[in-house]
Amino acid sequence: MIIIRLRQCGITGKGMGGIVSAIKGKCNNNLRSIRLTKNPIGSRGCSHLAEVLRGPGTKLVELSLSDCHLNDNSIKILTKAIKNNKVLRHLLIDRNPDITRIGYSRLSKLLCNKSSVNATYDSNHTIKCIASANQRVRITRNFRKSLVLNGSSSNKSSVAMNKILRCHEHLSMEPFFEWDLKVLPLAIHWLETARGNLLDGTEGNIDARKLSAIYEFARMMPLFFVPASPKQGKKRKHSMMTRSRKRSFVL
């Protein structure tokens, strides 16, 4: 296991290029922690570090960038690099006063994207800390809750379930179709599994959501009907948009 500690060494963004080249060349797969507190690396240094965060096989669990002249652009670079990273747990960015609510909003969206159920499911469920000991950052209650959920369980599927239940009062069935869960009992089973994996502070309201899911599933399923005439002897499928009082509809 390799830990790099370079506290207050005057490393600039340009200097980070050489350090990252060395990391990528020899020790990337064994590197667990990079601590760069009080080095003015700025956004340029973050661009180099992004190569490490995106690297295949990276096992980096801690990146300390406290007091490193970061700003909103730095956070934009880091969030793009971390989007598909399932390993990093500590991203310390405290004591960087140029990070505004815009930067923190990007991080919050990384941890819990509320735009859709799929987006929430695909959010980062690993990062659990963004400030070093005894330091505070001004983040929203929802942002803080996402950090708590990420750190509450090693089962990331369970964390994803809790974020979905917390952020989406009405659970659309469309993602279940996209995830190839095309049978209603499987969707209901997912909700029952979620009931058993509720983490502290998560409001499940599972029974009401099950009823809503049944209605939503039935609404989205295509309808087929069989002609009532006994003479045909063959079943014919028609569009659900066809209107006829003489035909009976079945799921």
State the residue for tokens 């209605």: 215
Q: What is the pLDDT of residue 158?
A: 82
Cα 146 to Cα 201: distance, rounded to the nearest angstrom:
11
Q: Which own/partner pairs from 217-224 qualify as long-range (CB within 8 Å, at least 24 positions apart)?
A: 217/173, 217/176, 217/184, 217/187, 218/251, 220/173, 220/174, 220/177, 221/251, 223/249, 223/250, 223/251, 224/249, 224/250, 224/251
Across residues 40-66, what is the average pLDDT? 93
Residue 194, burial from CB neighbour count under 10 angstroms (0-12, 13-18, 19+): buried
Q: What is the pLDDT of residue 1?
A: 82
pLDDT over 90, % of the chain: 47
The 10s digit of each residue's pLDDT in 163-199 is: 887 887 766 666 655 554 444 555 566 666 666 665 5
Structure tokens at 13: 């963004």
Mean pLDDT value across the chain: 79
- Residue 225 β-bridge partners: 249
**At 60, is the pLDDT very low, low, confident or very high (cuts 50, 70, 90)?**
very high
**At 155, is the pLDDT very low, low, confident or very high (cuts 50, 70, 90)?**
confident
Cα 225 to Cα 54: distance, rounded to the nearest angstrom:
51
- Sorted by sequence, the CB contacts under 8 Å of residue 248 that are 6+ apart come out as 225, 226, 228
Lowest mean pLDDT among 16-20, 118-122, 125-129, 189-193: 189-193
Strand 248-250 to 224-226 pairing? antiparallel
Q: What is the pLDDT of residue 37?
A: 96
Structure tokens at 251: 């799921």
**At 246, is the pLDDT very low, low, confident or very high (cuts 50, 70, 90)?**
very low
- Pick the most confident of 90-99, 136-145, 205-214: 90-99
- For helices 42-54 and 72-82, the axis angle rounded to 10 degrees is 10
- Pick the most confident of 19-23, 84-88, 214-218: 84-88
Q: Domain coordinates of the chain in residue numbers?
A: 223-251
Structure tokens at 32: 């667990």
**At 222, is the pLDDT very low, low, confident or very high (cuts 50, 70, 90)?**
low
What string of DSSP letters covers 114-179?
TT-HHHHHTS-----B-S-TT------HHHHHHHHHHHH-S-HHHHHHHHHHHH-SS--SHHHHHT
